[in-house]
Amino acid sequence: MTACGGGPAAPSTPRPRPSSASVGSAAASAVGTDAVTARALADLRAFTSWLAEHRVKGYIGEVGWPDDAKGDAAQWNRLAERWFGAADRARLWVTVWATGEWWGSGYPLAPYEVSSSGGAVDTADTQAPVIERHLGSAGVLRGVNVAGGEFGAPSVDATSSFSNANPGTYDTAYHYDSASTFTYLASRGIRLVRIPFRWERIQPALNGSLRAAEVQRLKRAVGRAHAAGLRVIVDMHNYAGYYVQRNGHGVRRDLGAPGMLRAFANVWHRLGRSFRATLGLVGFDLMNEPVDVSSRGGLSPEAVWRKASQAAVEAIRSAGNRKVLLVEGYDWAGAQVWPQQNPVPWIHDPAHNIRYEAHQYFDIDHSGTYSQTYDQENAALGG
């Protein structure tokens, strides 16, 4: 997910993700539930079975479902309860998408909201009871995404007004949440937050120094979460691209473009070194939803991503940082297509401290837009 535009963020909907095969009424009947739930559980199983087969650990960095805006919260919550039961059995770390002060009170996927304009997150929505019944156990971290640091930037548009030279003004285009929000989340039993940031803002020139002010903003956000008793994953929310200023506008350079593999390793070496002793930081999400990568040197797009993520792991470890690394799968990190996009584990980590990360939304195109009601989704799947 991302936020587009240059003013105070009105976050946009996520881009469509690849779909799994539809689960019709026959398959739903076979598992004793409706088609929407059957497909959601099958999509998760595609990821968890892969993890089990290869004896590696996993994380769902984003999962989300609607509140009662369309009067069907109970149906979505029943599905989510089943989904979390499967996630519990697989011992998955999970962060639900998404809360944040700049969502206000109108974003249907926000499980925790703001009750008054301009305030902190302070109110539970209909999804919260499901999350709070599945807050994890020893070694299993559960929580929410706290969005805002990635706002005011595009996802995979070829060009944009946003760029490394025009990254937007803090607290006008993007925002990190206050201590009050993190304290409220901790009071609900949340243990883990995933905080997105943008590469262009923290490293304004590829292979150059990190922007000290931006590093401090992100560290202070981590510090506020830590002071509330939360653990933090910071997430480079860039969709495998970087917007370089050219002729007055930003041009997307993906990780397959010349020089970008080196640049990706460079930024993660610098971040690994800078955040090595940051209290409360449990790990780094190397790249949100890598997609639309160019082929390079005879390598397929997914192979380019595998090479880039391996280089980032090595760069972080060479900086002396041993925190957990969250490695997403190619093509929006979709759980439903995980085995097809990522046939075998590919990361070799000298610290042996990684988790493979998938994302999952339950609507028919896996986009998280939820444009249809639950009953309409079920009918479209043959339920």
Cα–Cα distance list, 222 to 70, 182, 186 (Å): 35, 10, 14
**DSSP letters spanning 130-162:** HHHT----TT--EEEEE--TTTT--SS-SEES-
Q: Please give the pLDDT value at position 11.
A: 41
For the chain, what are the domain ranges?
25-153+174-242+278-290+323-380
Instruction: State the chain's mean pLDDT as an integer.
Output: 92
Q: Please give the pLDDT value at position 2.
A: 34
Percent of the chain with pLDDT over 70: 92
Torsions phi, psi of 93, nearest 5? -70, 145
CB 151 within 8 A of CB 11: yes
Residue 224 pLDDT more than 80? Answer: yes
Q: Which CATH number fits domain 25-153+174-242+278-290+323-380: 3.40.30, 3.20.20, 3.40.50, 2.30.30?
A: 3.20.20
Identify any residues that bridge with 58 across adjacent strands, giving them in sequence order: 356
- Selected residue with higher pLDDT from 25 and 32: 32
pLDDT band of 383, cuts 50, 70, 90: confident
Q: Kindly report, residue by residue over 155-200, the tens digit of the pLDDT.
A: 999 999 999 999 999 999 999 999 999 999 999 999 999 999 999 9
CB 36 within 8 A of CB 383: yes
Q: Please give the pLDDT value at position 5.
A: 32
pLDDT band of 21, cuts 50, 70, 90: very low
Q: Please give the pLDDT value at position 8.
A: 35
pLDDT band of 257, cuts 50, 70, 90: very high
Q: Please give the pLDDT value at position 118.
A: 83
Can you tell me the mean pLDDT for 309-331?
98
Torsions phi, psi of 222, nearest 5? -60, -40
Q: Kindly report, residue by residue over 356-377, the tens digit of the pLDDT.
A: 999 999 999 999 999 999 999 9
Can you tell me the mean pLDDT for 257-284?
98
Taking Cα atoms as reference points, which of 325, 283, 333, 225 lies closest to residue 1? 333
The two beta strands, 192-197 and 142-146, are parallel
What whole-number distance in Å separates Cα of residue 215 and Cα of residue 319?
A: 16
Q: Kindly report, residue by residue over 94-112, the tens digit of the pLDDT.
A: 999 999 999 988 999 999 9
What whole-number distance in Å separates Cα of residue 21 and Cα of residue 10?
A: 33
- Helices and strands (DSSP H and E) totals, the chain: 11, 13
Query: Tokens 């060009």 — which residue?
Result: 159
What whole-number distance in Å separates Cα of residue 333 and Cα of residue 50?
A: 14
Q: Please give the pLDDT value at position 32.
A: 59
The two beta strands, 249-254 and 241-246, are antiparallel
What whole-number distance in Å separates Cα of residue 167 and Cα of residue 250?
A: 10
Burial 187-199 (b: 16+ CB within 10 A, else e): ebebbbbbbbbbb
What whole-number distance in Å separates Cα of residue 265 and Cα of residue 270?
A: 9
pTM: 0.93
